[in-house]
Amino acid sequence: MVAALRGKVGCIVDLSAAFRLKDASLYPRWYGFEHEQPELLAEAVYGLPELYRDELEGATLIATPGCYVTAASLALAPLVRQEFIQSSGVIVDAASGVSGAGRGLKQSSAFCTVDEDFSAYGLLDHRHTPEIEQVTGAQVLFTPHLAPMSRGILATCYARPTGAVTTESLLEGLTRFYELEPFVVVRPTPPSTKATLGSNAVHLTARFDERTGYVLVLCAIDNLAKGASGGAVQAANVALGLPETAGLSAVGLFP
């Protein structure tokens, strides 16, 4: 549909994965299909304003990020770009609410299956893996989990530092990177999914563990808002020259 719509509308915002990956050869392995419009991959702009705002201004085709990718990338990309962490051996351990699987009737997402349960899936081959790597520039081992909640994502990311770091320097680096972002909150306390519920907010924190030598970064978002429709509206606002926060809330519906 996108190819047919090009030139007939001002801006297309695609929420599927069809234009997220820049390398067409990745689609058969990770999504199981040959990409029939590879020429549009170069034209599509990745819809994550915190990292691609300049490219989004005036964009006519926007590829909305995956929900897990939004959380992992906003946690890791600033630290990779500022050379706080190494770009290899990064681990992303993330949990999502059931709505991430869509509204289709499936035994794996039925109430009696999910309630009082916590499980991992997509081991070593989840389709968001190459997208996280593309956005962060890091080699990632990604393991998603299904949590017994309706919505929300909590991504816990582990990486090795490039040099001497502290918890304070990591928090300062994240704060500096996101200081002008209307939806990102860097906080000293661990984020929670409920605090972002129904909003476009992103809550982050970081730690350095002197005992093991690992950097720890956590990110909480609402998978249906910032991780999907909210992020799409935000990117469209930037592309169309509208106020970036139009139609969006930065305050979660907690409790």
211, burial (CB in 10 Å: exposed 0-12, middle 13-18, buried 19+): exposed
For residues 153 and 191, the answer to whether their CB atoms sit within 8 Å is no
Cβ neighbours around 156 below 10 Å, total: 17
Active site residue 67: yes
DSSP state of 172: H
- Rounded Cα distance between 142 and 66, Å, is 13
- Rounded Cα distance between 116 and 34, Å, is 39
3-state secondary structure of 10: coil
Cβ neighbours around 126 below 10 Å, total: 20
Give me 42's structure tokens.
Answer: 């170069």
Alpha helix positions (H), 15-142:
26-31, 38-41, 49-56, 67-81, 111-114, 129-136
Specify which residues 156 forms β-bridges with.
93, 218
Name every residue whose Cβ is closer than 8 Å to that of residue 36 and which is 6 or more positions away in sequence.
Answer: none
Task: Say which of 11, 67, 112, 219 is annotated catalytic.
Answer: 67
Q: Which amino acids are annotated catalytic? A: 67
